Structures are given as C-alpha cells and as structure tokens.
C-alpha cells in the first residue's frame, strides 16, 4: 500500500471591513406597549424593564463604517462624530387596546431629557435621519400612527447613564390640541453608555514667562507691583521652549510683575 504526505497550509483569516447600508439596532427590541382604555378614557403604557446600551460603531462593528453619503454618517461614523447610538427602544400598540375615539389621534411628547441625548426618526430606504422630539430645534411632540416606530437615540461615547421621559396622549385630529387627562404614565427611557476607547483630551492655558536660557545664574521672582518691597521666588519648574528658559504659570499670575535676581 502506498502512502503519501499531505501538507495543509493555514492561511491567515482576512477580516474585511464592510460599508453598512443601514443603522444597526444594537440589540433586541424593547417596546413600550401603548393601549387605550375606553372605560377610563385615557392611554396606558407597559414599559420594558431592561435598559439598553448606547454603543458606538467602533465598539459594536469595529471594522465597519457607514457610507459617506448616508444622512447619519456625520453623527455615527467613527471617522466623524462617532456617537454612541441605539434603536432598541420603540413604541408599539398593545393588542388589548380599545379603538381610539373618533376624531382623535395619538401623539408622543418628550417631557424631559439629558442634554447629551439626541433623537432621530430613522429609515433605511429611503434614507431618513430627521431630528425629532426636541432635537435640533424640532418640536417636543410628534404624531404617531400606531405602527411600530423605532427612533434612533445618540450621545457622545462615555460611561454616564442617560435618561429621557416621554408621555403619549390623545389629540384632536382637526386642531392638534391635546385632550387633557388622556396621557399615559411617564415613560422613562434609561440608557447606559459605552466608551469607544479614544483617549480623553484636555486643554489648559498657561502664562509663559521666558528669558535667555543661557542665563543660568539668574532666578525669576514675582511681586504684586513694580514698587513692591516684597519679592517672591518663582518655584515652578523651568523648562526650555523654543530655546528660551520658560516658567509656565497659572493665569491668575497675569496680574503680577516679574524680575530676574542674580543668584548667589
């Protein structure tokens, strides 16, 4: 019996970045269910207990990006703002709802929200990314036709917990006026947030006092006025910047006067 040797060559697995044509939901649906109770003449809501994560694309899809022509690209793509986002929350009509009274419609109103949260009406085709519910100067209320609706919530990546509170109410179809006493219990949307790993930047303005770096036999002193008889040694570390000896001082030193004193 003849035997042979077989060589198996393991090639590295190639990860190909994808250009996404839609905005991921970032998890399963979380649906507040709104129902109308004809006996009470008002709306009620059943809220999910889970709090979704706002997650940047850099974390959920680290090799992917959005099309530069998509309206959500400036907000969500890692090469642009790279905001955290979630489409998990949405509204749906409860199966036990009574029919709405004639001449009425359901509206949803934002009652309160963390300033960092923005909200958009999203649609993949045709591509829609429209500020709603107070975002970008839009109205705090919008008409809802009772169909399943998943807005997109965004915020800068981070570790903070964010909330928004909504209520649904009945409004007159002709005038748009809210019908008092028909609103739901407050709907509290809770979000945790996810950082994307980017280093946190900081900035600080300093007052730079400079002199000839060769003058090592001199020390820097300060006083509150040029005629002062009390002068204090500047104890800040001296560094060389652009060839000059430099002391970097806090801006509250801007009102002081400085002199050089020959060291013993």
Q: What is the mean pLDDT of residues 199-220?
A: 87
Return the closest-CA partner of residue 45 out of 87, 86, 91: 91
Q: What is the spatial order of strands in the sheet that 244-249 belongs to?
A: 207-212, 244-249, 238-241
pLDDT band at 8 (very low <50, low <70, confident <90, very high): very low
Q: Name the least confident of 8-17, 43-52, 198-207, 236-245.
A: 8-17
**Cα–Cα distance, 176 to 109 (Å, whole number):** 13
pLDDT of residue 15: 52
Convert the pLDDT of each residue in 45-96 to its tens digit: 999 999 999 999 999 999 999 999 999 999 999 999 999 999 999 999 999 9
Question: What does 237-262 look like in DSSP terms, one character per residue?
Answer: PEEEETTEEEEEE-GGGGG-EEEEEE
Q: What is the DSSP letter of 217?
A: T
Convert the pLDDT of each residue in 136-184 to its tens digit: 999 999 999 999 999 999 999 999 999 999 999 999 999 999 999 999 9
Residue with more model confidence, 249 or 23:
23
Convert the pLDDT of each residue in 217-244 to its tens digit: 899 999 999 999 999 999 999 999 999 9
State the CB neighbour count (10 A cutoff) for residue 114.
12
Percent of all residues in the chain with a pLDDT value above 90, rounded to a whole number: 78
Q: What is this structure's pTM?
A: 0.74
Residues ≥6 apart with Cβ < 8 Å to 234: 209, 219, 220, 221, 222, 247, 249, 258
Q: What is the mean pLDDT of the chain?
A: 91
pLDDT of residue 114: 97
pLDDT band at 254 (very low <50, low <70, confident <90, very high): confident
Residue 9, pLDDT above cutoff 50: no
Domain boundary assignment for the chain: 24-193, 207-262
Q: What is the mean pLDDT of residues 12-30?
A: 83
């Amino acid at each position: 019996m003849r035997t042979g040797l077989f060589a198996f060559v393991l090639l590295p697995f190639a990860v190909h970045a994808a250009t996404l044509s839609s905005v991921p939901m970032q998890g399963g649906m979380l649906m507040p269910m709104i129902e109308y109770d004809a006996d009470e003449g008002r709306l009620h809501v059943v809220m999910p207990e889970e709090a979704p994560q706002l997650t940047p694309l850099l974390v959920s899809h680290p090799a992917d990006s959005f099309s530069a022509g998509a309206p959500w690209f400036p907000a969500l793509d890692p090469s642009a703002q790279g905001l955290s986002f979630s489409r998990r929350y949405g509204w749906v009509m409860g199966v036990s709802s009574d029919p709405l009274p004639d001449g009425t419609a359901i509206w949803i109103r934002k009652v309160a929200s963390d300033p960092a949260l923005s909200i958009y009406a999203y649609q993949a085709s045709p591509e829609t990314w429209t500020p709603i519910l107070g975002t970008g100067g839009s109205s705090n209320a919008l008409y809802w036709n009772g169909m399943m609706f998943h807005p997109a919530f965004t915020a800068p990546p981070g570790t903070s917990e964010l909330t928004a509170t909504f209520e649904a109410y009945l409004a007159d179809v002709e005038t748009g006026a809210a019908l008092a006493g028909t609103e739901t219990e407050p709907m509290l949307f809770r979000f945790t947030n996810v950082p994307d790993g980017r280093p946190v930047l900081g900035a600080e303005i300093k007052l730079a006092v400079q002199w000839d770096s060769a003058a090592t036999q001199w020390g820097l002193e300060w006083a509150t006025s040029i005629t002062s008889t009390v002068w204090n040694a500047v104890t800040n570390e001296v560094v060389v910047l652009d060839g000059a000896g430099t002391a970097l001082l806090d801006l509250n030193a801007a009102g002081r006067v400085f002199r050089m004193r020959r060291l013993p």
